[in-house]
Structure 1
Amino acid sequence: MAAPIKVFGPAMSTATARVMACLLENQLQFDLVPVDMSKGQHKKPEFLAIQPFGQVPAFQDEHIVLFESRAICRYIVDKYTEKGKRGLLGMETLERASIEQWLEAESQSFNPPSSALVFQLAFAPRMKLKQDPNLIAQNEAKLSKVLDVYEQRLGDSRFLAGDEFTLADLSHLPNAQYLINATDRAALFTSRKNVSRWWEEISGRSSWKKVVEMQQTPLPSSSST
């Protein structure tokens, strides 16, 4: 019997949640192995052996060990095509290129400002850390510009990479979830007609609802990837 897939990290971590969503979207069972970052478990030698940068998540599938959430998601979709939706990464060259370009947009343009806002607005107050108003304002302006691009794109396309839900959409779920439901900046998304429609559709997927249900333990570290 094959060893179960293991995901190491707190469910509340945005990067861990991304991997969990991908596994659930592909109808794969897995064990979530909690990592208490407040106690420095992510810096212990046994964890560094599978995630040398001391970040979350780490991922184990039998003898395969991976880190970096987006790389893990690509691996899941490529390996387990018979389990879930192969279309999450595309079925032909041009389709995959479109998905990859919007995945890059998420990691390079959407993630930096949205991650900064999630930390400043959602996590810093819980961790009793001082918020930085200038940093919040700067990243809100950056994210607004990104979402303006998304608004235009989603006026022409049901999802970011086309008319089917893909990893490009899935990858946005964790940060958007916090900003919309755990901060006072939901209007960044809801005030844009097409972005709001897109968010309602992708966040309503059963796989993501299950992730949200699993997010019962507090506080990821800011060192998620």
Structure 2
Amino acid sequence: MAPKVHGNVFSTATMRAFATLHEKGVEFEVVHIDMKAGEHKKEPFVSFNPFGKVPAFEDGDLKLFESRAITTYVAYEYHGKGTELVYHDTKKMAIVSVWMEVESHHFDPVVSILLFEQRVKPMIMGAEPDLAVVEENQKKLGLVLDVYEARLSKSKYLGGDEFTLADLHHLPTIQYLMGTSTKKVFEARPHVCAWAKNIMARPAWTKTVAMQKQA
């Protein structure tokens, strides 16, 4: 049986899972969760994720939640298919793991605030973004991306010379931010800008974004 992803095609976390499966060339089934109707906070979804957040994942008798745990499982379970996304050399994988942690603990908290102000408020809540909050967090993002700029001046990708989960995990939030004024924070750093354009052009990511148009 094909793996199942319970989620929403517009959710950044769900998009991470989709992109990983596309990179691996693994066929999967999407179980749509209507978040506007609050399905992610009700049964049967909360039996998959008691925290009520998408996505959840099934592969046979295995059930997972948390998008980065799902992507890591898929990358290792389907070793030998599609893009590797992880290393089996422990030292190389240690470097990739560092940048996966950076994305989770330094990049994502800042961009989540920017996405809320610049995408969620105007498009879903019908409210204006707080420009002071946007400016403050664009400055914070700039400091994070200064570290990325230094790293990407020495290697093509964050984890080394090959595309890995360390890069993939950034894709959903970067995709949305490129439609906001925060785009300038990326464009001000040439190595970061080139990296972002490169990873967003990947066929697997194009497939992931196309799923939104089909929804």
Q: Same fold (TM over 0.5)?
A: yes
Alignment of 1:58-97 (within 5 A): 58-86=56-84, 88-97=85-94
Specify every segment of 5 or more residues in structure 2 that has no aligned partner in the other structure, as ranges.
none
In 2, the alpha carbon distance for the partners of 1:134 and 1:65 equals 41
Q: 1:111 aligns with which of 98, 108, 111?
A: 108
Query: In structure 1, what is the equivalent of residue 165 of structure 2?
Result: 167
2:180 matches 1:209? no
Partners of 1:139 and 1:20 in 2: CA distance:
28
What is residue 200 of structure 1 aligned with on the other side?
Answer: 197
- Structure 1 unmatched ranges of 5 or more: 219-225
C-alpha offsets along residues 28-65 of structure 1, whole Å, 9 cap, x if unaligned? 01111111111110111211001110001111111111
Q: Aligned partner of 2:55: which letter? A: P
The CA distance in 1 between the partners of 2:181 and 2:26, in whole Å, is: 34
Report the Cα distance in structure 2 between the residues aligned to 1:63 and 1:208, rounded to whole angstroms. Answer: 28
Contact 1:19–1:72 at 8 Å: present in 2 too? yes
Counterpart CA distance in 2 for 1:132 and 1:33 is: 35
Compute the TM-score of the two structures, normalised by the length of structure 2: 0.95
- Which residue is equivalent to 1:222? none
Considering Cα pairs closer than 8 Å and 6+ residues apart, tell me whether 1 or 2 has the greater RCO.
1
| 2:185 alignment partner AA | L
Partner in structure 1 of residue 134 of structure 2: 136
What residue in structure 2 maps to residue 185 of structure 1?
182
Q: CA separation in 2, counterparts of 1:156 and 1:103?
A: 18
Query: Once the two structures are aligned, what percentage of the paired residues are identical?
Result: 43
- Would you say how many aligned residue pairs link Structure 1 and Structure 2? 214
Moved over 4 A (4+): none
* TM-aligned CA deviation for residue 122 of structure 1: 1.2
